[in-house]
Structure 1
Amino acid sequence: MAIIQKIRDKYAKVAGGVIVLALVGFVLMDATSGGRGGGFFGPSTTVAKIDGSKIDVTDYDRAVTAQEEQMRAQNRPMDENATAQLRDQVLNQMVMEKLTAGINEKLGISVSDAELKEMLNPANPDPMVRQAFTNPQTGEFMADQVASTIAQFEKTKDPKMKAQWDNFRSSLIASKIQAKLNGLLSGSLYTPKFVLDDLHDGRANAANISFVNLPYTLISDDKVKVTDDDINKYVAANKKMFEVKEPSRSIDYVAFDIKPSVEDSTRVRTQLEELKEKMATAADIDNFVKINSSVPVPVAYQSEEAINQMPAAEMIKTAAIDAVVGPFTYGQDMALAKIIDRATLPDTVKVRHILVATKQGGRDLRTEAQAQARVDSMLALEKSGVPFDSLIKTFSDDNIAQNPSGEYELPLSQRAGFTKEFGDFAFSGAGAGSTKVVKVESSQYSGLHYIQIIKKSDKNVNSTKIAFIIKPVSIDNSTYNKAYAAASAFATKVANAPANFAKDAVASGLVVQSAQSLNRNSSLVQGVGASGELVKWAYEAKMGAASPIFNVGANKIVVAKLSEINEPGLLKPAGAMKTSIENMIRQQKKAQLLIDANKQKTSLADIASANQVEVATADSITFSAPMIQGLGNEPKVLGYTFYKGFKEGTVSPGIAGLGGVQFITVNQRYAKPGMGRDLKMERQMSEAMLKGRAAQMILEGLRQSVQFEDLRYKMYR
């Protein structure tokens, strides 16, 4: 659990891609790095350049290491796929920070101490703080642990822990600054009236048309020849579509998925069946769960709403007290659930408390005897009339700077996130004014809580206390060996005859898939996951070569064939790209044939008769609604329908559409009734559609405007 046990800094990726990109890594540590590419004067230390400004490998490695520590602290798996995504994300973060640093400075965007204090307040925490203190198993926010954990980090003398806290706090500030910049950019939007007029016309004006649709399937593909010269001319005429700025590789591949077998599932089910009777009679259910569950889920009350989101919800809701439900599938795992108790509990409880800790963040503060003596002194002073506000300042190890009153409003929906003893008393039958000293032992801290119940909600919620035992369905060696043997046999078969890759795959009952545009700076492979070795092979192999076996993650084996090599410059179509271009050109040729064959006909009826199709009609067409009844999405037809130069009652020339060639006649254009205007509302709607993505669009445009070089392939390949 590492850092999460100290700070619970499991922060979420903040909504809105730009905010995510603006955060820099949390824990600054010395990092090891892989091979380093070098120039004539020695090894390079630059992983990226932005308009000449450099990102040094040391800074990049530190940020990556920090993020990896953070991921592990959140108990999230750090497989190759997660690592590859993280490395790409970190570089994007650093690039965006360099791009926006000057802007923020010029605009005077900053975060005050008061703002930071409010962000850390558990009563209304910043989303990053909420995520940092969210139980990874239950998804519940542990509000009661925020202040005490922050207090420990602010008091610590441990340089590593201090650095962790300083960088978490810095990341909060960075995200807030980015949020302010995003707000300024979004707030700068304004929709002029002429744009509103145009949008209104698109909604208010309608038309009725008759049309003939000649689908491209009227001409068989074998009657339309597409040559390499056609393809080259198409590419030359559409250079911007096919201009390559960075080298890339594409592969065809077959995947051998290593899935848990029936035997694997049966093995885990048998283990749980063996535990089921013992669980039903366990005297200490908390300890039993701690010993036997692979995934730690606290024994706690769950609201009916929370239970409805669980697997086996109906069985859990109807089971008797002390009954054990399962085994049942729990995501990728299997589980047992014991019903401990059912109760009606208050929806919300407001409490205040003083924490006298014995341990925090793995560090001893005082002995239990010393803690008890401190609590006794505090209670004696309270009895003599010293107000609670004074006691908390003197005695509490909670973070009184962030929460000087020691008060928390605790929703039942987050009950599973509180320490057991704290939550048990807070939601017990004790009424307002009740007090109690409870002993708490958790992975984050230990000590004594003095709790006072201030208020309980009048709204009560049906709740069930549940104990879970969860075990993953792991893959046995024999399951892996079967998949490996099949992959090895296929790789051997295609090694000497890669031209037969697709044919041999079909013969083996395998599906050939494609992964386009492999980036030399990333290990991510579309549809596969992350495999740095596979990407490296693709950049070293000759065109058309077949690969050896590659293990991707823990559950997949891949054998590939290099299908496309693209270097900077004008794309040389091959493989799937060439097929796509051929289809576009073939469609253009078919369109011209259909147009030429019918251009002398003067009515829709003649065109329909000659092609053995029907004349159809579509009513209530508006420019703002792209779908046309009977045609689907045909933008050019919409354009002709509302083009003022196209007269009603006339037959249009052939329109080369997406699904065929259309000939149309506008029967009537008219204003839809009841389309009054509210300019204020129209402007609000227009701007609302853009505000959510405005900042991301603007900042992405800023990024596209600079010269950017990703040089990681020289360091890590």
Structure 2
Amino acid sequence: MSFLRERAGAIIVVAIGLAIVAFLLGDAIRSSSGFIADANSEIGVIDGHKVSYQNFNERVEQNSQQFRAQMGNLNSQMQSYIVENTWNQMTSSIILENQTAKLGLSVGNKELFNLLFEEPSPQMQQIFADPQTGQFNRTNAISSRKSAETEPTGQLKQQWIALEESIEKDRANQKYLSLIRNGIYANSLDAKDEYTNKNKLVNFDYVVLDYSSINNADVKPTDADYKEYYDQNKYRFKSNTDTRTFEYVAFDASPSKQDTADAKTKIEKIAEGLKATDNDSLYVSINADTKTPISYQKKGTLEPALDSVMFNVSKGYVFGPYLSDGAYKVAKLVDTRISPDSVKARHILINPATEGGMGQAKAKADSIKNLIQKGASFATLASEFGTDGSKDSGGDLGTFARGSMVPQFEEAVFNGHPGQLLTVETQYGVHVIEIQKQVGSSKVVKVAIVDKQIAPSSQTEQLAYQKAQSFIASVKNQKQFEETAQKQGVNKLVAEDVTPLQGGVPGLDDARNVVRWAFKADKGDVSDEIFNVGNKYVVAVLTEVKPKGTLSLENVKKSIEPAVINLVKARMLKEKADKALNGATNIAQVAQKLNVTVNPVENIVFANPIIPGYSQENKVIGSIFGSQPNKVSKAIDGERGVYVYAVKGFTNPAAFTGASVAKSKESLSQSLSSQAEGAVFEVLKEKAKIKDNRAKFY
């Protein structure tokens, strides 16, 4: 106690100090954690604008939904394309938005109103197109805008805010691009050059020593040769993104003959059960690998093997087993009937999520149905209670054929009769439907299909995996990888210059896991895991790392080898041609010394530098148009070989005056203007600082 009394002051000071330090450290740790969390959720930075993963992914999902609506399921390549396309859209939008802000370009209230309702933008025209005429429906657009101010949930208001912002931004961008385009023009000299290049003709004779006349094996390029070619063509080696090259071996676990036989035995037993069952829907849901709803289908919509059979047999007929899309299938004709070809209908969709569940949504739909039956306006109720895009057109869905709607909805409207009012539940909610009209009639069939995919057995997969395990256990570096592949007789494949977000590589349709590994590994690393890609087990080794920017000679040495060999061949052939030129006064003498044929060419224009039947030779044709007639040229190295030529004469075009000048200037200006938008964006993109972290998330 005496010790504590004597040192109480010091103890209190230390305690308070520790508390303050702890408080400050805690605050710093929390701030740091928030900063790290923000950084980890950042998909990238575009021209100073941070892009969050959540915001970017929402746009990816929106674009994916549009693609699915048009193309069905998306594979890895399609998904990679969508991610890339979304990134490009966002990059373009942000960069142009920054540029318009710098210039003070804006859209006033009157101008925006005009774009919304008077001279509608393409977005407005698409959203508020009349289903019957395809023309912009101004009344519906204004009505929807007014409804947005009074809607209880505020969802419509938010949609309008987003739409107006999008139209406003697009208009400002168009103003910016118009300024660029208006600053591009062609003067009389430009027009004259263009006219001359397209219309001045030249006739000439030439001889060529083809590079193929020297075997590649006889050419040994030196380091100096590689450096010479690299220095002359450095502009060609600029890469806009990091790339990786890796080699890999794949051990196939595709279904064996025994797996195929087993699948056929299973489907044969299933076929007997399908013949006997009285509950086709239940039997399909229990036994089919692909759970497809049984619905009526018209001629031409079944797969060909069934389409030619099911419209000509009796109810209860079972077809198969047959092989289709990697599966054995058996099909049973459940029913046939005569049905309308198309239906005109309208509906009111009630969303269970906003009503407190499916029960409440069903009750509300029944109430709306009763009101309509008592004389209430369907269109008015659709506008008031509908929750999809059709609400603004009175619930009108237009006229549609089979296959356009989800099965439950389709069955109801095609099996009902005109004037009928009914309620139907689908995955979207509860629909109050009025069948307005049914058009045409044709035979439709209801077919139950049971499939069994031909899949590898566990024994097949285990055997392939064991081979992959044996391989990966034997390799620690690139040299061992190559030696082991050769020793085991395993085919080694190459994925060259793979980009960070690439979905597939040669031989592997969905290789995202392998690509992600490649961008984390160092050159020479062997994968520390076996990748499961489809029916293959993959082991890879990273052989090349190419950073963004101008690639080094080492990075491109392998790819430029053919061009460097031609460079050395050109040197050898030019030496041979120079000897033939010594003392020669015409092209025939040069040809005789070289033991080659003189080739005559007529009516070549500068704008199309192709030697007919041989090659595009920009350098050679350019030299020809700068030469004097009746003189033998020096030896010139081209794309396919070394050339010597003699110009026979030029034919000048008609005088370039008056209307020709004006027309050519206009044509050239339009051509330059059409290229402006893409060119401007590429320049702005190159100058903007862009940090791309997408490979961490996709």
Mark yes or no: TM-score above 0.5.
yes
Matched, 1:444 2:440: no
Mapped to 2, the partners of 1:390 and 1:303 lie a distance apart of: 38
The aligned counterpart of 1:410 is: 399
Residues 299 and 467 of structure 1 are in contact (CA less than 8 Å); yes or no, is this contact kept in structure 2?
yes
Residues 392 and 400 of structure 1 are in contact (CA less than 8 Å); yes or no, is this contact kept in structure 2?
no
Residues 618 and 630 of structure 1 are in contact (CA less than 8 Å); yes or no, is this contact kept in structure 2?
no
Q: Which amino acid counterpart does residue 449 of structure 1 have in structure 2?
A: I
Mapped to 2, the partners of 1:421 and 1:192 lie a distance apart of: 62
Q: Displacement, 1:660? A: 1.4
Mapped to 2, the partners of 1:326 and 1:169 lie a distance apart of: 54
The answer for unaligned runs of 5 or more in structure 1 is: 1-35, 126-150
Q: Displacement, 1:93? A: 5.3
Mapped to 2, the partners of 1:474 and 1:422 lie a distance apart of: 34
The aligned counterpart of 1:703 is: 685
Mapped to 2, the partners of 1:429 and 1:712 lie a distance apart of: 50
Residues 208 and 619 of structure 1 are in contact (CA less than 8 Å); yes or no, is this contact kept in structure 2?
yes
Pairs within 5 Å for 1:571-582:
571-574=551-554, 577-582=556-561
Larger Rg: 2
The aligned counterpart of 2:571 is: 592
Relative distance call for 1:583 and 1:39 in structure 2 (3 A) is farther
Q: Which amino acid counterpart does residue 542 of structure 2 have in structure 1?
A: L
Pairs within 5 Å for 1:679-698:
695-698=677-680
Q: Displacement, 1:704? A: 0.8
Mapped to 1, the partners of 2:325 and 2:185 lie a distance apart of: 47
Matched, 1:215 2:204: no
The aligned counterpart of 1:22 is: none
Pairs within 5 Å for 1:540-551:
540-541=521-522, 543-551=523-531
Relative distance call for 1:311 and 1:209 in structure 2 (3 A) is farther
Matched, 1:98 2:105: no
Q: Which amino acid counterpart does residue 684 of structure 2 have in structure 1?
A: L
Q: Displacement, 1:493? A: 3.5
Residues 207 and 599 of structure 2 are in contact (CA less than 8 Å); yes or no, is this contact kept in structure 1?
yes
Q: Displacement, 1:330? A: 5.5
The aligned counterpart of 1:230 is: 225
Relative distance call for 1:86 and 1:389 in structure 2 (3 A) is closer
The aligned counterpart of 1:559 is: 539
Mapped to 1, the partners of 2:676 and 2:355 lie a distance apart of: 42
Q: Displacement, 1:444? A: 1.3
Q: Which amino acid counterpart does residue 434 of structure 2 have in structure 1?
A: Y
Cα deviations across residues 323-376 of structure 1 (Å, max 9, x unaligned)? 555556655666556665476855x65444456788889833637566445423
Relative distance call for 1:710 and 1:418 in structure 2 (3 A) is closer
Cα deviations across residues 636-660 of structure 1 (Å, max 9, x unaligned)? 333345x1x3234443332312121
Residues 201 and 603 of structure 2 are in contact (CA less than 8 Å); yes or no, is this contact kept in structure 1?
yes
Matched, 1:60 2:53: yes
The aligned counterpart of 1:366 is: 360
Mapped to 2, the partners of 1:640 and 1:321 lie a distance apart of: 78
Relative distance call for 1:404 and 1:704 in structure 2 (3 A) is same
Pairs within 5 Å for 1:101-250:
101-103=97-99, 106-108=104-106, 119-121=126-128, 188=181, 192=186, 201-242=196-237, 249-250=244-245
Q: Which amino acid counterpart does residue 60 of structure 1 have in structure 2?
A: Y
Mapped to 1, the partners of 2:240 and 2:383 lie a distance apart of: 62
**Partner SS, residue 483 of structure 1:** helix
**Partner SS, residue 435 of structure 1:** coil
Q: Which amino acid counterpart does residue 595 of structure 1 have in structure 2?
A: K
Q: Which amino acid counterpart does residue 561 of structure 2 have in structure 1?
A: E
Q: Displacement, 1:83? A: 7.7
Relative distance call for 1:587 and 1:171 in structure 2 (3 A) is farther
Residues 48 and 689 of structure 2 are in contact (CA less than 8 Å); yes or no, is this contact kept in structure 1?
no
**Partner SS, residue 465 of structure 2:** helix
**Partner SS, residue 360 of structure 2:** coil
Mapped to 2, the partners of 1:325 and 1:681 lie a distance apart of: 68
The aligned counterpart of 1:397 is: 386
Relative distance call for 1:276 and 1:636 in structure 2 (3 A) is farther
Relative distance call for 1:250 and 1:376 in structure 2 (3 A) is closer
Matched, 1:513 2:497: no
**Which deviates the most, 503-512 or 216-225?**
503-512
Q: Which amino acid counterpart does residue 50 of structure 2 have in structure 1?
A: I
**Which deviates the most, 679-688 or 61-70?**
679-688
Residues 198 and 605 of structure 2 are in contact (CA less than 8 Å); yes or no, is this contact kept in structure 1?
yes
Mapped to 1, the partners of 2:676 and 2:86 lie a distance apart of: 23
Relative distance call for 1:510 and 1:435 in structure 2 (3 A) is same
**Partner SS, residue 374 of structure 2:** helix
Relative distance call for 1:487 and 1:437 in structure 2 (3 A) is same
Cα deviations across residues 356-415 of structure 1 (Å, max 9, x unaligned)? 788889833637566445423422226xxxx65456556x53558843433332232xx3
**Partner SS, residue 662 of structure 1:** strand
Residues 205 and 669 of structure 1 are in contact (CA less than 8 Å); yes or no, is this contact kept in structure 2?
yes
* RMSD between aligned residues: 5.3
Q: Which amino acid counterpart does residue 417 of structure 1 have in structure 2?
A: S
Cα deviations across residues 598-653 of structure 1 (Å, max 9, x unaligned)? 12433444444444443334455444545433213222333345x1x323444333
Pairs within 5 Å for 1:282-681:
292=288, 294-296=290-292, 299-302=295-298, 304=300, 312=305, 315=308, 320=313, 322=315, 331=325, 341=336, 345-346=340-341, 349-353=343-347, 363-364=357-358, 366=360, 371-372=365-366, 374-381=368-375, 389-390=379-380, 392=382, 397=386, 399=388, 402-412=391-401, 415-420=402-407, 422-423=409-410, 434-453=418-437, 456=439, 464-465=444-445, 467=447, 469=449, 472-495=453-476, 498-499=478-479, 501-517=481-497, 526-527=505-506, 529-531=510-512, 535-536=516-517, 539-541=520-522, 543-551=523-531, 553-566=533-546, 571-574=551-554, 577-599=556-578, 600-601=580-581, 602=584, 603-619=586-602, 621-625=604-608, 627-641=610-624, 643=625, 645-667=626-648, 669-670=650-651
TM normalised by structure 2 equals 0.70
Percent of aligned pairs sharing the same letter: 20
Q: Displacement, 1:591? A: 0.8
Relative distance call for 1:440 and 1:45 in structure 2 (3 A) is closer
Q: Which amino acid counterpart does residue 706 of structure 1 have in structure 2?
A: A
Q: Displacement, 1:171? A: 7.1
Mapped to 2, the partners of 1:473 and 1:276 lie a distance apart of: 16
Residues 348 and 431 of structure 2 are in contact (CA less than 8 Å); yes or no, is this contact kept in structure 1?
no
Q: Which amino acid counterpart does residue 452 of structure 1 have in structure 2?
A: Q
Residues 268 and 334 of structure 1 are in contact (CA less than 8 Å); yes or no, is this contact kept in structure 2?
yes
Quick check: which one's helix share is greater?
2
Mapped to 2, the partners of 1:43 and 1:511 lie a distance apart of: 44
Relative distance call for 1:572 and 1:393 in structure 2 (3 A) is closer
Residues 518 and 525 of structure 1 are in contact (CA less than 8 Å); yes or no, is this contact kept in structure 2?
no
The answer for unaligned runs of 5 or more in structure 2 is: 1-28, 133-146
Residues 280 and 448 of structure 2 are in contact (CA less than 8 Å); yes or no, is this contact kept in structure 1?
no
Q: Displacement, 1:595? A: 1.6
Mapped to 2, the partners of 1:689 and 1:325 lie a distance apart of: 60
**Partner SS, residue 381 of structure 1:** coil
Cα deviations across residues 71-116 of structure 1 (Å, max 9, x unaligned)? 6996988998888777666655554443233345644366976667
Relative distance call for 1:108 and 1:62 in structure 2 (3 A) is closer
Residues 212 and 608 of structure 1 are in contact (CA less than 8 Å); yes or no, is this contact kept in structure 2?
yes
Aligned residues: 624
Q: Displacement, 1:185? A: 7.2
Residues 325 and 338 of structure 1 are in contact (CA less than 8 Å); yes or no, is this contact kept in structure 2?
yes
Cα deviations across residues 656-697 of structure 1 (Å, max 9, x unaligned)? 121212233444555799x99999998998788788875444
